[in-house]
Amino acid sequence: MTDLGAAPPGDPLPILKQWLERAAELTDRPNPHSLVLSTTGAEGCPDARVVLLKRFDERTGYLVFYTNYESAKGRQLEALAEACAVFHWDRLGLQARIRGPVLASPAEESDAYFATRSWQSRLAAWSSAQSQPVSSRAELNARMNETAARFGGDPGDWSRAAPPRVVARPSFWGGYRLFARAVELWMQGQARLHDRILWSRNLEAAGESSFRGGPWTAKRLQP
């Protein structure tokens, strides 16, 4: 397949879902659902980093990723709750860009996800003030040891199975939902005549953690 169809499909979300499924089958890519998340930093300067997509809600049209709410990205999103996500699957010749507003996931959803994380990952979430300076690796290790001891584990040996004591989610760590207001799908074509379609729609607030999307309009863009 070298194009997205003569007439742009009405809804990009099923195509994005299909692309994510195809990417998940890539055997030579350890994190097929990694994405570059761009936000706006101080004085309007762009910033970007890689995060992992943990869920795609095809019905409403949002991406979920998890992070520290007090990290640089967390603070940037607090100041301007808009982001852009870019996926690139080189082997498939595909790129997807998703832009729109960002809301924190409902607390219960973040709790449920946090509970599925390994003991070490939960300790690390507590131990790392993400994006803050640290004097040394030794200080970070010491912090992991303290956290392990606090939750009934064995300091110095985080590889042990989790002790029975529950490690609750820290309130400064959780999910974000990036709602698709615009989706651009790019498919590699012959002679650099790639195919690009940009879909956009209006979003209307629907409660604390969601939006309702209006109808999509699509236009094909020159490569």
Ligand X SMILES: Cc1cc2nc3c(=O)[nH]c(=O)nc-3n(C[C@H](O)[C@H](O)[C@H](O)COP(=O)(O)O)c2cc1C
Structure tokens at 143: 């912090």
Write down the least CB distance from residue 26 to ligand X, Å. 14
The reply to whether 117 sits near ligand X by the rule CB under 6 A is no
Exactly one of 3, 26, 34, 210 binds ligand X (CB under 6 A); that residue is 34
| 215 closest CA partner among 202, 198, 205, 196 | 202
110 three-class SS: helix
**Cβ atoms within 10 A of the Cβ of 159, count?**
7
The reply to whether 131 sits near ligand X by the rule CB under 6 A is yes
| 62 closest CA partner among 114, 3, 93, 104 | 104
Number of residues that bind ligand X (CB under 6 A): 14
Q: Near ligand X by CB under 6 A, which window of 43-51, 89-97, 105-113, 181-189? A: 43-51
Structure tokens at 13: 């979300």
| 198 closest CA partner among 15, 2, 1 | 15
Write down the least CB distance from residue 130 to ligand X, Å. 5
Exactly one of 38, 71, 110, 145 binds ligand X (CB under 6 A); that residue is 71
The reply to whether 130 sits near ligand X by the rule CB under 6 A is yes
The reply to whether 66 sits near ligand X by the rule CB under 6 A is yes
Write down the least CB distance from residue 126 to ligand X, Å. 14
If the CB atoms of residues 74 and 101 are measured against ligand X, the closer one turns out to be 74
| 96 closest CA partner among 1, 211, 205, 4 | 4
Footprint on this chain of ligand X (rule: CB under 6 A): 31, 34, 49-52, 65-67, 71-73, 130-131
